[in-house]
Structure 1
């Protein structure tokens, strides 16, 4: 069951990378400016290492699904719903990179009505819930801290770019 879970997550991430590349091409044709190029490789590395850590901790420490697995899995599925609601709300503007089209209007529909960065909230919840599903507490603790640091950098860069270039 664990490998099926990992396979589903891997396919999801690969599909998101493909969509991000397509969206990058679309918005660059509209004159998008990229920000945060310096920290972007570290974010990618952190996400890859998160999955490596999760897999290693579960396999090497012989972790079993939590006795709360039904509730945790339900929460993971709900979080994925919010993820795709956020992605669909942004449309071609969704990306794994910070790409800002000058004078484009800020998206304030979908979950963006209530949260400034719903996709980052989803990532925070995933980094907690995915390890929690198997009791991979070392991965949970380490990557919660790393992700908090990375998001503090990324959100600051993204907010500055949006203030400078997006129309309200």
Structure 2
């Protein structure tokens, strides 16, 4: 039970981090719109919000109701991945600056960001999402939540990345 309480604190911290992201995203959205930014691909956004909220809720429900235990052999490495995914996410936010958002918003005339983690691959923020999506539940053995989120998130990211790439291509055309 003690490990479940600590796990609940961890999920609460991740939820607080997500709320901080929303504050940054809202500020950046206002900045982008003031400079002629246009939002695209918004049809999938409500599903993304529900899925990510479901991840956090699923972690807690599965651990508490299914009485999932903590296994240090799996839990500690997964915790390290959760922390690494947060670091990668905030690195992305820092490098993109005002251009980072939870929505797809293109501001005309701004160059494509190619520094930081973006010099390594096109969508590093989504790498953070994928890693967090399986690692956070597995910190405390919530394997069902990890599987369901990963499968649903794969479909969502297929749509999301396609929409984002289309928006970026049309901005450069």
Q: CA deviation at 1:82?
A: 1.1
Q: CA deviation at 1:166?
A: 3.8
Give the one of 144, 149, 158 matched to 1:152. Answer: 158
1:49 matched to 2:54: yes
Q: Is the 8 A contact 1:40 1:97 kept in 2?
A: yes
Q: Distance in 2 between matches of 1:127 and 1:160?
A: 25
SS state of the match for residue 105, structure 2?
strand
Q: Distance in 1 between matches of 2:9 and 2:58?
A: 17
Of the structure 1 ranges 114-123 and 4-13, higher mean CA displacement relative to structure 2 is found in 4-13
Q: Is the 8 A contact 1:104 1:166 kept in 2?
A: no
Q: TM-score, length-normalised on structure 1?
A: 0.95
Give aligned pairs, total: 167
SS state of the match for residue 42, structure 2?
coil
Partner of 1:65 in structure 2?
70
Q: Distance in 2 between matches of 1:71 and 1:50?
A: 19
Q: Distance in 2 between matches of 1:150 and 1:8?
A: 24
SS state of the match for residue 38, structure 1?
helix
Q: CA deviation at 1:70?
A: 2.3
Equivalence map 1:17-166=2 (5 Å): 17-68=22-73, 69-166=75-172
Q: Is the 8 A contact 1:100 1:166 kept in 2?
A: no
Consecutive unaligned residues in structure 2, runs of 5 or more: 1-5
